[in-house]
Structure 1
Amino acid sequence: MAAAGGRSLGHAAMNPALARTSAEPGGVGLMDHPLRAPGADEVELRVSLCGLCGSDVIIYRADPAASSVPLGMVIGHESVGSVVRTGLLVPEWLAPGTRVVPISTVGCGHCEACRADQPHLCARRSGLGLTQHGQAAARALVPWRNLVPVPDSVPDTTAVLAEPASIAWRAVSTVARIQPGERVAVSTTRSIGLLAGLMAQRAGATVTMIGREGPGHAARVDLAASLGLDSTTGRQPDTYDVWIEATGAGIHLARAVQELRPLGRLVMVAMYATGTAPAPVVRTSKNLDVLHSFISTRQDFEQALAFLATLPDLGERLITTYPMDRAVEALRLTADGSTDAAGRPLIKAVLQPNP
């Protein structure tokens, strides 16, 4: 039954979800997460796909950086889904069946920052999958102001990349302001970096993907090459104008400092676990412009979806889907940086809660 005055496509009783179950390493598991009726400004989504990312890994590893994530919290914030039912104050454009992606930062909705559509600047902000229940579940509740419509030309398998693509878009276009002809390095093993590389290349930069030898390295090089991106493990001091660091690993942060030219721009987009503080950045004498780009706005999501619309089959090349009964395995493989069952690099593990 819909909330009084709301609209509905009906809903199921069981709601399997991937949640934090303990504060110990590996403390995540499947549980039933019953949903209440949507509040006046909320939408219930039927989740089609939900990607797993670095913040989910930090929860899985019980890193101190995840200490504020309570037990029972449903994780996951990189999703695509369709509207099932809505609250009383939800606009008509969010009709049942509308496909949407959620913006992960939730503002209070009332302060100056929220009124300017900048919830990441809200003093009372929270995060889906961190301090509010996420979407690694069959169904989820999301404030309607956090929803962005998905163009018909973008299939779910690519739309699930909207959140990492929005982070990449902001890093490339708004923060780094990459210009044609610039030399850009992207250190990455996952989707944000590959997307940033593609966007920087589209902006006219010469892009090199930076990796290191290890499991699946050759397959990752082949994947980057198939996307038109060059890769290297060799070191090239004072080479790059811009470095986008998307691994969250101190070793790559130190390498960026070595290989950026003096006055170069270092853009940090990854979430760093405890113990990987960016000390090398502070000690350099190159006068680097150190920039942080951890969030994205509605405008970034809209631009990212427009970019993905030009590459509608990209998701088929980057994601590996797992049913919910393999959700913990998918998160473990993500944490390990493994290859998938077919030997492909695990760029983005994606849960399929509603097969």
Structure 2
Amino acid sequence: MAEGVPGGHFGPTRQVPALARTEVAAGGVGVVEHPLRAPGPADVELTITLCGLCGADIVIYRADPAFDWVRPGTVLGQEAVGVVSATGLLVPDWPAPGTRVVPLAVIGCGRCEACAADRPEDCRWRSSLGLGRHGAAAGRTIVPWRSLLPVPDSLPDTTAVLAEPTSIAWRAASVVGRTGPGDRVAVSTTRAVGLLAALIAQSRGADVVMFGRDGPKHKSRRELAERLGLRATMSLEPDSIDIWIEASGSGKQLATAVDALRPGGRLVLVALYATGAQQPVSTLPGKKLTVLTSYSSNRADYEAALEFLTTVPRLGDELVSVYPMSRAVEALHDAAEGSAADGSALFKAVLQPNP
């Protein structure tokens, strides 16, 4: 059995606390004692410092039918920062125990042509943390050493844990969306990936506006966007936007994007849409819009993301809400709702497995 299969292991195991899928049903998650195997020859063991909860964790929590294939027993969590605590026999001098790192969310087989070219996202046998293999929402986890990136010393853990969503935002705003000086850019949703994409587009010289909805929760998100130096609005003129980055997963937001984009504009889809979500595209042919999909990210995106985060090292102080592992299910519920129990807006729920 491969490590990506829940229950598969090599060598002796020990138990670590983890947030895992317990059943294929809405709310079917829980904190369990997860059997952790010893690192294989090319693997490392990470002691997880912080693990963010993302859209993939939320769709599992909500039991979206498109993710029924994620097996009960699978540990959740794609976004993490941790410290190398043990290494396999074939791991080179880097990363040594004590090294602070973030893991790639997508891991390849390590043997094919794509993996040899350091493109695990193109590997036919790839798997993702928290989906096809055990993730990082645990006290410790095992990953191949080749999937690790060093964390700059200037980045605190609360900002380094944003590396994965920042890599997603970087790909959407920079690689796929190609935002640049003079572009009129709108980003829908003022949650983490949207905020990060807007900040990245603005850093590249674009004229950026955040588009959000009304209500107390959304008001506080708009206020945060403005504190971060972004403009926020609830209305846009038709044909006024060059590039729209749709990060909300809302059919209504998508309809607004189509209306606001100028003829010939670019629509970048980066959100996860729930099964059955309405995605109106009836006006796309007439406006001659270019529709681009931006999904996942690669090592170059992570490297660019970490470099970008060094320019805003205290960003985690604004975006991250830390929960102990004992409140992991509550954290996932709050992440799904986008707000904490007191009704305040939640941007990024993060677990601290090892207080």
CA distance in 2, matches of 1:126, 1:187: 29
| Residue aligning to 2:349 | 349
CA distance in 2, matches of 1:199, 1:164: 12
**Count of paired positions:** 344
Please report the TM-score for the alignment, with normalisation by the length of structure 2. Answer: 0.94
User: In structure 2, do the counterparts of structure 1 residues 195 and 281 end up closer, same or farther at CA, with 3 Å as the change threshold?
Assistant: farther
Amino acid paired to 1:261: R
Query: Do 1:216 and 1:339's aligned partners in 2 also have CA atoms closer than 8 Å?
Result: no
Query: Do 1:215 and 1:338's aligned partners in 2 also have CA atoms closer than 8 Å?
Result: no
- Percent of pairs with identical residues: 60
Deviation at residue 14 of structure 1 after TM alignment: 3.9
Deviation at residue 13 of structure 1 after TM alignment: 4.9
CA distance in 1, matches of 2:284, 2:244: 17
| Residue aligning to 1:240 | 241
Counterpart mapping for 1:39-188 below 5 A: 39-188=40-189
CA distance in 2, matches of 1:284, 1:259: 15
Deviation at residue 278 of structure 1 after TM alignment: 3.3
Deviation at residue 46 of structure 1 after TM alignment: 0.3
CA distance in 2, matches of 1:142, 1:114: 15
Deviation at residue 284 of structure 1 after TM alignment: 4.2
CA distance in 2, matches of 1:232, 1:108: 45
| More displaced stretch, 212-221 vs 239-248 | 212-221
Counterpart mapping for 1:331-350 below 5 A: 331-339=332-340, 341=342, 344-350=344-350
Deviation per CA, 1:266-302, whole angstroms, max 9, x where unpaired?
A: 1111111111253426754211111111111111111
Query: Do 1:320 and 1:340's aligned partners in 2 also have CA atoms closer than 8 Å?
Result: no
Deviation at residue 189 of structure 1 after TM alignment: 3.3
Amino acid paired to 1:21: T
Query: Do 2:254 and 2:280's aligned partners in 1 also have CA atoms closer than 8 Å?
Result: no
Deviation at residue 50 of structure 1 after TM alignment: 0.3
Deviation per CA, 1:8-57, whole angstroms, max 9, x where unpaired?
A: xxxx9541100000111000001001211101111100000000011111
Deviation at residue 163 of structure 1 after TM alignment: 0.2
CA distance in 2, matches of 1:67, 1:300: 29
Amino acid paired to 2:345: P
CA distance in 2, matches of 1:37, 1:62: 31
Amino acid paired to 1:41: A
Give SS of 1:34's match.
Answer: strand
Query: Do 2:102 and 2:161's aligned partners in 1 also have CA atoms closer than 8 Å?
Result: yes
Query: Do 1:175 and 1:293's aligned partners in 2 also have CA atoms closer than 8 Å?
Result: yes
User: In structure 2, do the counterparts of structure 1 residues 50 and 282 end up closer, same or farther at CA, with 3 Å as the change threshold?
Assistant: farther
| Residue aligning to 1:4 | none
User: In structure 2, do the counterparts of structure 1 residues 104 and 281 end up closer, same or farther at CA, with 3 Å as the change threshold?
Assistant: farther
User: In structure 2, do the counterparts of structure 1 residues 60 and 282 end up closer, same or farther at CA, with 3 Å as the change threshold?
Assistant: farther
Deviation per CA, 1:71-123, whole angstroms, max 9, x where unpaired?
A: 00000110000000011111211100100101111111111111111111111
Query: Do 2:258 and 2:283's aligned partners in 1 also have CA atoms closer than 8 Å?
Result: no
Unaligned runs of 5+ in 2: 1-12
Give SS of 2:37's match.
Answer: coil
